[in-house]
Structure 1
């Protein structure tokens, strides 16, 4: 009571509230859109193992930012949100350590290579990577849905998982997305348990995104700090919730969610690519 009395003797409640409102009004409304975008994107990505790039890019494109700024902002923000997501998945026991070690190094190397090539070759060439990836992931999404409605999906050994991680990391940086849709979809389509696939891929994603973000930072620098801050805060808030959802949802429900998300995202990318010719 004494401390409170001393504080409010120098800072009256009304004056303090007015200062708080004034600071709140100075915040760009775009920040709150980015906060919502980061929260929604990480909630989906942390629970289903994919979707952060798709959702974030869709919302950021509506703000009028150029593609280069969007790519840099998303990778920088995703570095923090994927770190919170990976830590949460680890705490909840959703990580397969052997699979993590297999995916880690190739994924990081692929991400760094993709970011460097994007800088030197330009984003125009990266646009041709997305249609091929979209066709592949759409077929995987259909396969996942088919497996979801089978009585039992036999688990098979995933061959060349390191090459898969390298390709996913490369496409994530060079093509603007692909780590979640490619790696998560392929592993689940082989009959792996979605909970551990999503948790392991999410933890690995932090290191993959870190490599990509640092490369973009060195080559391009960082801009649009308010956009990045909104994505980071929203993503960090959603990460524990998404990890808890991944550990509680039923396997069939998760497979249906992943399959539907992959198909919708793939069709959206293909329609967008086709529309560019008309």
Structure 2
């Protein structure tokens, strides 16, 4: 396939070009095509979202998960509808995962073969999921089931971190994993990292390479789902997006460096604990 001829430098160039295009589109849309004149305020809500974006991206860049889930949960508490919250998070993710992905590419944390195996089905699943959550589904209905699955995965990863790490000969069901992760990420406002990263690590892939590859692929998943959200939902919550972008962009390079330095078994334990906490919290909120 022609895509496999692309080098990591080509991937970096494509990411930068897509980010610039989206940035120009958003600036033009906010300044010239908004229903109301753009109003910006550096209030407590803005800095709360900025801080949450920073912390979420620091965890995501280091452990390969939790950005979408953390930010979506915060935005829902502010009263944003699920589709609007997911659209805001994914728009911000184009920039935060872009910086994170470029950092991982620079630090050589990315496996090119694995990247292409997950990015294509991931984008396909994200586009389908973004359309359905915008027009058909209620994402809150399936969140408890996703969280129950992730809770089990988190426990298994935590248990596995205390054993000898195996050598992976062949990854299984990668296409299905990618399309499922992309779909559920778009529908639930987060989940690409927990679903894809946890499964690949559980199958025996090294945490550093897995996290770098999954984070880089997440840029494309976020970009294409954002395109669908902008078409069907629009983007009136641009101050929220700006706060998430600023916080995430500041944290992304730091997370990539930490991912390079943390030991594999330590990282597996952290990944397992984060998945268990987030999944248990989501299940609790769904019940109570």
Q: TM-score, normalised by structure 1?
A: 0.86
Q: Deviations over 1:218-252 (max 9, x none)?
A: 11111111111010011011000000000000111
| Aligned alpha-carbon RMSD (Å) | 1.5
Provide the residue aligned with 1:244 in structure 2.
257
1:26 Cα deviation after fit: 5.2
On the 8 A contact 1:102/1:162 being kept in 2, the answer is yes
On the 8 A contact 2:66/2:191 being kept in 1, the answer is no
1:133 aligns with 2:140: no
Q: Deviations over 1:117-143 (max 9, x none)?
A: 1122142xx223222211211111111
Among 235, 249, 264, the alignment partner of 2:277 is 264
Provide the residue aligned with 2:231 in structure 1.
218
Q: TM-score, normalised by structure 2?
A: 0.83
Among 112, 118, 143, the alignment partner of 1:103 is 118
Q: Deviations over 1:38-94 (max 9, x none)?
A: 111100011000000121123223333333321111111111101110110110110
Structure of greater Rg: 1
1:149 aligns with 2:162: yes
1:164 aligns with 2:177: yes
Provide the residue aligned with 1:188 in structure 2.
201
1:166 Cα deviation after fit: 0.4
On the 8 A contact 2:55/2:251 being kept in 1, the answer is yes
Unaligned residue ranges in structure 2 (runs of 5+): 1-39
On the 8 A contact 1:156/1:190 being kept in 2, the answer is no
Among 190, 194, 200, the alignment partner of 1:177 is 190
Structure 2 distance, partners of 1:39, 1:196, is 22
The alignment partner of 1:192 has SS state of coil
Provide the residue aligned with 2:43 in structure 1.
28
Structure 1 distance, partners of 2:197, 2:42, is 37
Unaligned residue ranges in structure 1 (runs of 5+): 1-24
